[in-house]
Amino acid sequence: MRRRQLVYRRRRTVLVASLLGAAGVLAGLLASSGPGRHAPAPAPTASSPSYRTTHVTQPGATTPPPATTRPVATSQPAAVAPAAVGSVAITVADPRGAVPVQLYFPAARAGAATVSPAGAPYPLIVFSPGYDIDPAAYTPLMDAWAAARYVVAVPTYQGTAPGDPNGLDEADIVNHPADLHAVIDQILALSAAPGGLLGGMVDPGRLGVAGHSDGGDVTDAVVSNSCCRDPRIKAAAVLAGAELTSFGGTYSAPSVPLLVAQGDADPINVPACSEQIYDGAGAPRYYLDLHGAQHHTPYMSAPYSGPPTAAAPEYRQAVVTVSVLFWQAYLRQDAAALSQLAGWSGAGSAATLYAGAPVTIGGACPGAPG
């Protein structure tokens, strides 16, 4: 199956799964876990861009969840005392219009949707979701990061979420790096202003970005493509993402630590795409190879999690544990987390972590620069 074409072709992957309750999904994921300015993205060209299309069936509308606070029962790696997690939907300004953003954060106390001042200011992680996927599907992973005492912001870019009133438009991805920059600007401005939900709660010097699928493409672009680099970013995690010719610019090794995660049975983002990103990165770099995993299962909850597989809990455990260790090591400069990350082998046969070592997969990544 070809991932992207310069000629516009749509591929649909339909995943049908039972919808689990949010609490059950979160428990299943976390209980098993161990521990300057920037150039805007180029405007779309008249020629059809190359990109991935993934359609996933889902049960309802994409209204962001209301403000909630959840006690998260998990043991986090690197001696992180897990926090209760709050979640609030906000809207930030963007040159192209308002952008909905779901915030996840360490809560002041169970039942309160306010950020705990203990430990503030916190590092910020901005997560870019995949195309045609309800951002709420990533809640278990976002909860895990927030429980590890990070503020996490999940923007919904134009034309990306099921139920978008203006319809889906995957070609709009070329504008998403600029949208991501704008979201970062606004979140940091909210933290710099006194009072309010985020007043004084975010450390502008500890900024990470992450993304899955098309959101992974955007994440990679803002750390490794001349079109869109943001010098404020200190670490990046690309989950099943790729380089894209559609962004323009030139790719080169990112100047920040990089974590790449990839299912080796992924037919949508073929492993060669992630290998290309990892091979092009300098040190420190990490490649989490998820054995037998497809495109959705390791990163999100039902109904997007794909065909049932006995290894699903292990995939999710691996992604949670490795990503938290990565953020701890490079956004908090935690020496113990760095040591654990370098020696991690905690998922048995479900995953292998390469810490700088070469990864040899072969093949080509459709839609990526040659």
Q: How confident is the prediction along the chain (370 residues), in pLDDT tens digits per residue?
A: 233 332 222 222 222 222 223 333 333 333 333 332 223 333 333 332 333 333 332 323 333 334 444 443 333 454 456 889 999 999 998 889 899 999 999 997 755 689 999 999 999 999 999 999 999 999 999 999 999 999 999 999 999 999 888 899 999 999 999 999 999 999 999 999 988 999 999 999 999 999 999 999 999 999 999 999 999 999 999 999 999 999 999 999 999 999 999 999 999 999 999 999 999 999 999 999 999 999 999 999 866 666 667 788 899 999 999 999 999 999 999 999 999 999 898 766 799 999 988 888 888 999 899 7
Per the document, the length of the chain is 370
Fold of 22-355: Rossmann fold (3.40.50)
Question: Which stretch of DSSP H or E encloses residue 27?
Answer: helix 22-30
Query: Rounded to an integer, what distance in angstroms lies between the CA atom of residue 247 and that of residue 171?
Result: 10
Prediction pTM value: 0.82
The Cα 322–Cα 260 span in angstroms is 10
Residue pair 180/209 in contact by the 8 Å Cβ criterion? yes
Concatenating the DSSP letter of every residue in 243-311 gives --GGG-S-B---SS-EEEEEETT-SSS-HHHHHHHHHT--SSEEEEEETT--SSTTT--TTSS-S--TT
Query: How many C-alpha atoms does 286 have within 13 Å on its Cβ side?
Result: 31
Q: Are strands 151-155 and 68-70 parallel, antiparallel or unpaired?
A: unpaired
